[in-house]
Amino acid sequence: MARFEGALARASAQHGLVPPAHAELISRVCEHARFDAAQLARDGRSGTLAIPFVKELTAQVAAVSPEAAKHLHAGATSQDVIDTAAVLCIGPACARVIDLTQRLGSAASELARRHGRTTTAARTLLQPALPVPFGWKAAVWLSIVGRSMKELRRASASACVLQFGGPSGTLWFFGERGPAVLAALAKELALPASLVPWHSARDRFARLGAELAILTGAAGKIGRDVSLLMQREVREAAEGAAVGRGGSSSMPHKRNPALSVLALEAAYRAPGLVATLLGQLTSEHERGLGQWQSQWFTMRELVCAAASAVSAMAEVLGGLEVDSSAMQSNLESLLEDHAQDSFGSASAMIEAALADWASASSPGKAP
């Protein structure tokens, strides 16, 4: 929030709306400003944190220069600060989630490559179907992860744009210089500019939220499969036995799918959070009642859910213990009457999934 106010002062100065010395002073105070979050929350009785925040920051600037303080936040409104600050947090957080997804996909692609001839039973409706390569199973996981990573990257880039419109959204305060100040402010914050304000256009947050939930669900899907394969009666794969993982407070001998549980836990929570964002699209007029005020919070929950789920499953797939002899012996006892000499198009499918992944994970090179 302070970064926004400092950048606004500088951008305004570039276009003659704030004396350069004042902008520099504001900028410096913003850079080092510290806030008592609990106190701001207590003061936030006006329904938005921006008001006590601006008041407190103004006091900190005024302590150095009362004249400069008059220019702080000039032309902006509460939602500009809140939404832009949210975006300044969400963007890098999504980048981190994408990094984790890259790790998850790499681990899945490694399994797809390594286990192209490791035979296991396909299971449909939890019943054994036909033999398939375990690597093909990993390739299906990979196909979801690849698409989700690509779409998350796109949705994050689309959603993480500057919000700047002032009280009513038209940049009234800046007269003719609105677009120029907006462009300068975007540049200061290294954010894409969107001239049409999105104070009451929450579609991009909803879309980004949906992508985060889809990625979380992708991790949950893998966690579901791993936890099923890890059943003692199946024992075909297992989470690696890292220190402190998967223990039990009452049965030390147990080995639990603890990381898969993290992915599934997140996958249970994400859909409802997205429903919240989708239900907030119908905001009133130029600034709604009860939507944007807490979307930063809902987005935070979604980013954290995705990070937790993806990180957990990247660790799982990276160290997955695949028991190919258990796969073989299960298959024999389950499907004795089935010919097992053909995997159909499994190899071609694995190749296709790996090619898609290569394209998704190297966006710079792909068309």
Of residues 172-231, which lie at the interface with a copy of itself (CB under 8 A)? 172-175, 178-179, 182, 195-198, 200-201, 203-204, 206-207, 210-211, 213-214, 217-218, 220-221, 223-225, 227-228, 230-231
Residue among 255, 323, 328, 358 that touches a copy of itself (CB under 8 A)? 255
Annotation says 113 is catalytic = no
Hey, which residues between 118 and 157 contact a copy of itself (CB under 8 A)? Answer: 122-132, 136-137, 139-140, 143-144, 147-148, 151
Q: Which stretch binds a copy of itself (CB under 8 A): 17-25, 30-38, 42-50, 184-192?
A: 42-50
Question: What six digits make up the tokens of 191?
Answer: 């954010």
Cβ closest to a copy of itself, residue 95 vs residue 130 = 130
Q: How far is the CB of 294 from a copy of itself (least distance, A)?
A: 5
Three state DSSP letters for 151-210? HHHHHHHHHCCCCCCCCCCCCHHHHHHHHHHHHHHHHHHCCCCCCCCCCCCCHHHHHHHH
Q: Please, is 23 exposed, middle or buried when counting C-beta atoms within 10 Å of its C-beta (0-12, 13-18, 19+)?
A: buried
Please report whether residue 169 would count as binding a copy of itself according to CB under 8 A. yes
Annotation says 248 is catalytic = yes
Q: Which of 168, 248, 333, 345 is catalytic?
A: 248
By rule CB under 8 A, what string of x and - marks binding of each residue 309-338 to a copy of itself?
Answer: ---------------------x---x--x-
Residue among 36, 157, 248, 366 that touches a copy of itself (CB under 8 A)? 248
Report the 10 Å Cβ neighbour count for 82. 23
Q: How far is the CB of 61 from a copy of itself (least distance, A)?
A: 15
Distance between terminal CA atoms of the chain? 37
Cβ closest to a copy of itself, residue 198 vs residue 314 = 198
The Cα–Cα gap between 361 and 367 comes to 12
- Positive or negative, the CA dihedral 157, 5, 301, 299 is negative
Question: What six digits make up the tokens of 239?
Answer: 């989470």
Q: Which stretch binds a copy of itself (CB under 8 A): 7-15, 19-27, 91-99, 168-176?
A: 168-176
Cβ closest to a copy of itself, residue 21 vs residue 349 = 349
Residue among 109, 162, 246, 307 that touches a copy of itself (CB under 8 A)? 246
Count of residues that bind a copy of itself according to CB under 8 A: 137
Q: Which amino acid is at 357?
A: W
User: Cα dihedral angle (293, 299, 300, 301), rounded to 10 degrees?
Assistant: 110
The Cα–Cα gap between 204 and 161 comes to 10
Residue among 88, 262, 299, 313 that touches a copy of itself (CB under 8 A)? 262
User: Cα dihedral angle (304, 238, 113, 153), rounded to 10 degrees?
Assistant: -10
Angstrom CA distances, 354 to 80, 136, 357, 358, 367, stand at: 43, 10, 5, 6, 17
Q: How far is the CB of 148 from a copy of itself (least distance, A)?
A: 6
By rule CB under 8 A, what string of x and - marks binding of each residue 268-307 to a copy of itself?
Answer: xxxxxxxxx-xxxxxxxxxxxxxx-xx---x---------
CA geometry: angle 351, 354, 357, nearest 5 deg: 150
Q: Which of 10, 202, 207, 287 is catalytic?
A: 287
Cβ closest to a copy of itself, residue 117 vs residue 254 = 254
The Cα–Cα gap between 201 and 157 comes to 16
User: So which residues are the catalytic ones?
Assistant: 248, 287
